[in-house]
Protein backbone atom coordinates (compact mmCIF):
# COMPACT_ATOMS: atom_id res chain seq x y z
CA UNK A 1 0.00 0.00 0.00
CA UNK A 2 1.55 3.21 -1.15
CA UNK A 3 -0.33 5.58 1.11
CA UNK A 4 1.28 6.08 4.48
CA UNK A 5 -0.85 5.36 7.53
CA UNK A 6 0.89 7.91 9.73
CA UNK A 7 -1.87 10.49 9.16
CA UNK A 8 -4.70 7.96 8.94
CA UNK A 9 -8.08 8.98 10.34
CA UNK A 10 -11.37 7.08 10.61
CA UNK A 11 -13.17 10.22 9.43
CA UNK A 12 -12.96 11.88 6.02
CA UNK A 13 -11.54 15.41 5.93
CA UNK A 14 -12.57 15.95 2.30
CA UNK A 15 -15.27 14.01 0.51
CA UNK A 16 -14.12 11.52 -2.12
CA UNK A 17 -16.95 9.31 -3.46
CA UNK A 18 -14.50 6.57 -4.43
CA UNK A 19 -12.99 6.39 -0.95
CA UNK A 20 -16.39 6.73 0.72
CA UNK A 21 -17.54 3.63 -1.13
CA UNK A 22 -14.77 1.55 0.46
CA UNK A 23 -14.73 0.35 4.06
CA UNK A 24 -11.05 1.26 4.42
CA UNK A 25 -10.94 4.06 1.83
CA UNK A 26 -8.53 2.20 -0.46
CA UNK A 27 -10.68 1.41 -3.52
CA UNK A 28 -9.18 2.39 -6.86
CA UNK A 29 -12.27 1.52 -8.94
CA UNK A 30 -15.95 2.25 -8.18
CA UNK A 31 -17.74 -0.89 -7.01
CA UNK A 32 -21.27 0.28 -7.84
CA UNK A 33 -23.00 2.61 -10.29
CA UNK A 34 -23.96 5.07 -7.58
CA UNK A 35 -20.28 5.70 -6.76
CA UNK A 36 -19.59 6.32 -10.45
CA UNK A 37 -22.53 8.71 -10.59
CA UNK A 38 -21.29 10.59 -7.53
CA UNK A 39 -17.80 10.89 -9.01
CA UNK A 40 -19.19 12.55 -12.14
CA UNK A 41 -21.94 14.61 -10.50
CA UNK A 42 -21.70 18.32 -9.76
CA UNK A 43 -23.14 19.50 -6.48
CA UNK A 44 -23.77 23.11 -5.62
CA UNK A 45 -24.17 23.77 -1.86
CA UNK A 46 -27.27 25.78 -0.87
CA UNK A 47 -26.83 29.54 -0.95
CA UNK A 48 -28.63 32.31 0.85
CA UNK A 49 -29.16 30.42 4.10
CA UNK A 50 -29.09 32.54 7.24
CA UNK A 51 -27.68 29.79 9.45
CA UNK A 52 -23.92 29.48 9.99
CA UNK A 53 -22.69 26.09 8.71
CA UNK A 54 -19.95 25.65 11.33
CA UNK A 55 -22.52 25.62 14.16
CA UNK A 56 -25.33 23.83 12.32
CA UNK A 57 -26.16 20.19 13.07
CA UNK A 58 -27.61 17.53 10.81
CA UNK A 59 -30.29 15.51 12.60
CA UNK A 60 -31.75 12.37 11.02
CA UNK A 61 -33.86 9.22 11.59
CA UNK A 62 -36.70 10.82 13.50
CA UNK A 63 -40.39 10.10 13.01
CA UNK A 64 -42.72 11.73 10.47
CA UNK A 65 -44.61 13.62 13.19
CA UNK A 66 -41.54 15.33 14.65
CA UNK A 67 -41.75 19.11 14.20
CA UNK A 68 -39.15 21.86 14.32
CA UNK A 69 -40.52 22.79 17.75
CA UNK A 70 -39.75 19.26 18.94
CA UNK A 71 -36.18 19.67 17.68
CA UNK A 72 -35.81 23.02 19.44
CA UNK A 73 -37.06 21.65 22.76
CA UNK A 74 -34.86 18.57 22.56
CA UNK A 75 -31.59 20.32 21.70
CA UNK A 76 -32.22 23.16 24.14
CA UNK A 77 -31.00 20.71 26.79
CA UNK A 78 -27.48 21.14 25.45
CA UNK A 79 -27.41 24.87 24.73
CA UNK A 80 -29.23 27.73 23.05
CA UNK A 81 -30.96 26.81 19.78
CA UNK A 82 -31.11 29.62 17.24
CA UNK A 83 -33.14 27.81 14.58
CA UNK A 84 -34.48 24.40 13.60
CA UNK A 85 -35.85 23.04 10.35
CA UNK A 86 -37.48 19.78 9.25
CA UNK A 87 -36.97 18.90 5.58
CA UNK A 88 -40.19 17.96 3.78
CA UNK A 89 -41.02 16.52 0.38
CA UNK A 90 -41.71 19.40 -2.01
CA UNK A 91 -44.63 17.51 -3.58
CA UNK A 92 -46.37 15.81 -0.65
CA UNK A 93 -45.23 18.13 2.12
CA UNK A 94 -44.43 15.11 4.30
CA UNK A 95 -41.39 15.01 6.54
CA UNK A 96 -38.29 13.34 5.10
CA UNK A 97 -37.18 12.28 8.56
CA UNK A 98 -34.25 14.65 8.83
CA UNK A 99 -33.53 18.30 9.47
CA UNK A 100 -31.07 20.88 10.74
CA UNK A 101 -30.53 22.62 14.07
CA UNK A 102 -28.40 25.72 14.52
CA UNK A 103 -26.78 26.19 17.92
CA UNK A 104 -25.61 29.49 19.44
CA UNK A 105 -21.92 28.82 18.81
CA UNK A 106 -19.43 26.21 17.61
CA UNK A 107 -18.58 24.97 21.11
CA UNK A 108 -22.22 24.17 21.84
CA UNK A 109 -22.55 22.39 18.50
CA UNK A 110 -19.50 20.26 19.32
CA UNK A 111 -20.93 19.46 22.74
CA UNK A 112 -24.19 18.27 21.18
CA UNK A 113 -22.40 15.96 18.75
CA UNK A 114 -20.27 14.60 21.57
CA UNK A 115 -23.19 13.87 23.88
CA UNK A 116 -25.79 12.73 21.35
CA UNK A 117 -24.15 9.54 20.11
CA UNK A 118 -26.96 7.39 21.53
CA UNK A 119 -30.12 9.38 22.24
CA UNK A 120 -33.81 9.02 21.44
CA UNK A 121 -36.38 11.63 20.45
CA UNK A 122 -39.97 10.56 21.14
CA UNK A 123 -39.10 6.90 20.70
CA UNK A 124 -36.76 7.31 17.73
CA UNK A 125 -33.02 6.80 18.04
CA UNK A 126 -31.74 9.81 16.16
CA UNK A 127 -28.42 10.45 14.45
CA UNK A 128 -26.61 13.75 15.03
CA UNK A 129 -23.60 15.07 13.14
CA UNK A 130 -22.22 18.32 11.78
CA UNK A 131 -23.65 19.65 8.54
CA UNK A 132 -21.52 18.56 5.58
CA UNK A 133 -23.04 20.25 2.53
CA UNK A 134 -21.58 23.72 3.18
CA UNK A 135 -18.44 22.69 5.06
CA UNK A 136 -16.91 19.55 3.57
CA UNK A 137 -14.93 20.05 0.37
CA UNK A 138 -16.10 17.82 -2.49
CA UNK A 139 -19.35 16.87 -0.74
CA UNK A 140 -21.93 14.85 -2.70
CA UNK A 141 -25.31 14.08 -1.09
CA UNK A 142 -26.98 10.67 -1.04
CA UNK A 143 -29.32 11.53 -3.90
CA UNK A 144 -26.26 11.89 -6.15
CA UNK A 145 -24.74 8.62 -4.99
CA UNK A 146 -22.67 10.08 -2.17
CA UNK A 147 -23.35 10.80 1.47
CA UNK A 148 -22.33 8.80 4.52
CA UNK A 149 -23.81 5.76 6.22
CA UNK A 150 -26.60 3.80 4.58
CA UNK A 151 -28.01 0.31 5.11
CA UNK A 152 -26.41 -3.01 4.25
CA UNK A 153 -29.58 -4.09 2.48
CA UNK A 154 -29.17 -1.31 -0.07
CA UNK A 155 -25.64 -2.40 -0.97
CA UNK A 156 -24.63 1.27 -1.06
CA UNK A 157 -22.84 1.85 2.23
CA UNK A 158 -20.73 4.99 2.48
CA UNK A 159 -17.83 5.21 4.92
CA UNK A 160 -15.78 7.98 6.51
CA UNK A 161 -18.54 9.63 8.55
CA UNK A 162 -19.52 9.34 12.21
CA UNK A 163 -22.13 6.73 11.37
CA UNK A 164 -19.71 4.39 9.59
CA UNK A 165 -16.05 5.41 10.09
CA UNK A 166 -13.29 3.98 7.92
CA UNK A 167 -11.65 0.76 9.10
CA UNK A 168 -7.88 0.95 9.30
CA UNK A 169 -6.31 -0.69 6.21
CA UNK A 170 -4.41 -3.93 6.77
CA UNK A 171 -0.75 -3.40 5.90
CA UNK A 172 1.27 -6.44 4.69
CA UNK A 173 4.04 -7.47 7.10
CA UNK A 174 6.81 -6.76 4.59
CA UNK A 175 5.64 -3.19 4.03
CA UNK A 176 5.05 -2.63 7.73
CA UNK A 177 8.64 -3.62 8.41
CA UNK A 178 9.89 -1.27 5.67
CA UNK A 179 7.96 1.63 7.26
CA UNK A 180 8.92 0.77 10.84
CA UNK A 181 12.62 -0.12 10.42
CA UNK A 182 13.89 3.41 9.57
CA UNK A 183 12.00 4.87 12.51
CA UNK A 184 13.23 2.11 14.82
CA UNK A 185 16.83 2.57 13.66
CA UNK A 186 16.66 6.32 14.26
CA UNK A 187 15.20 5.78 17.71
CA UNK A 188 17.91 3.22 18.57
CA UNK A 189 20.64 5.62 17.44
CA UNK A 190 19.22 8.34 19.67
CA UNK A 191 19.15 5.96 22.64
CA UNK A 192 22.78 4.90 22.08
CA UNK A 193 23.92 8.53 21.89
CA UNK A 194 22.01 9.38 25.06
CA UNK A 195 23.52 6.39 26.89
CA UNK A 196 27.05 7.37 25.82
CA UNK A 197 26.48 10.94 27.00
CA UNK A 198 25.14 9.68 30.33
CA UNK A 199 28.17 7.40 30.80
CA UNK A 200 30.54 10.29 30.13
CA UNK A 201 28.68 12.48 32.63
CA UNK A 202 28.85 9.73 35.27
CA UNK A 203 32.58 9.24 34.69
CA UNK A 204 33.21 12.96 35.04
CA UNK A 205 31.25 13.06 38.30
CA UNK A 206 33.26 10.08 39.66
CA UNK A 207 36.58 11.62 38.60
CA UNK A 208 37.23 9.07 35.88
CA UNK A 209 39.18 10.41 32.92
CA UNK A 210 37.30 9.79 29.63
CA UNK A 211 38.91 7.20 27.37
CA UNK A 212 39.64 9.79 24.69
CA UNK A 213 41.54 11.97 27.21
CA UNK A 214 43.58 9.23 28.88
CA UNK A 215 47.41 9.20 28.59
CA UNK A 216 49.12 5.84 28.18
CA UNK A 217 51.90 5.34 30.78
CA UNK A 218 54.59 2.65 30.26
CA UNK A 219 54.26 -0.29 32.63
CA UNK A 220 57.67 0.42 34.30
CA UNK A 221 56.80 4.04 35.05
CA UNK A 222 53.32 3.05 36.27
CA UNK A 223 54.90 0.66 38.79
CA UNK A 224 57.16 3.40 40.11
CA UNK A 225 54.23 5.78 40.44
CA UNK A 226 52.17 3.22 42.36
CA UNK A 227 55.08 2.48 44.73
CA UNK A 228 55.58 6.16 45.47
CA UNK A 229 51.88 6.43 46.30
CA UNK A 230 51.18 9.12 43.73
CATH assignment at residue 125: 3.30.70.330
97: burial class by Cβ within 10 Å (0-12, 13-18, 19+)? Answer: middle
Whether 33 and 54 map to the same domain: the answer is: no
CA atoms of 117 and 102, how far apart (whole Å): 18
pLDDT in tens, 10-58: 999 999 999 999 999 999 999 889 999 999 999 999 999 999 999 999 9
CA atoms of 130 and 75, how far apart (whole Å): 14
Whether 88 and 57 map to the same domain: the answer is: yes
**Comparing 193 with 30, which gets the higher pLDDT?**
30
pLDDT in tens, 150-180: 888 777 899 999 999 999 988 776 555 555 5
Residue (of 17, 11, 12, 14) closest to 42 by Cα position: 17
Q: What is the pTM of this model?
A: 0.70
Whether 87 and 29 map to the same domain: the answer is: no
Whether 59 and 124 map to the same domain: the answer is: yes
pLDDT confidence of 225, banded at 50, 70, 90?
A: very low
Whether 23 and 97 map to the same domain: the answer is: no
Is residue 210 assigned to a domain?
no
Could you tell me where the DSSP H helices lie in 54-213? Answer: 68-75, 106-115, 173-205
Whether 95 and 157 map to the same domain: the answer is: no
The domain of 75 spans 50-133
Counting the structural domains of the chain, the total is: 2
Phi, psi torsion values for 126, nearest 5 degrees: -95, 160
Amino acid sequence: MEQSLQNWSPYAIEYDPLKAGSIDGTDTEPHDKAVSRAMQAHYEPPHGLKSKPERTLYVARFGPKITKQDLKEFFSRYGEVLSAKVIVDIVTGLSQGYGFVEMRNVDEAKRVVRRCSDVTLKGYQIFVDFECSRIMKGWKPRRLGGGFGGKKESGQLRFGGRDRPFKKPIVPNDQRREEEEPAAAAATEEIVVEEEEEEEEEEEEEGVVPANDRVLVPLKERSQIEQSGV
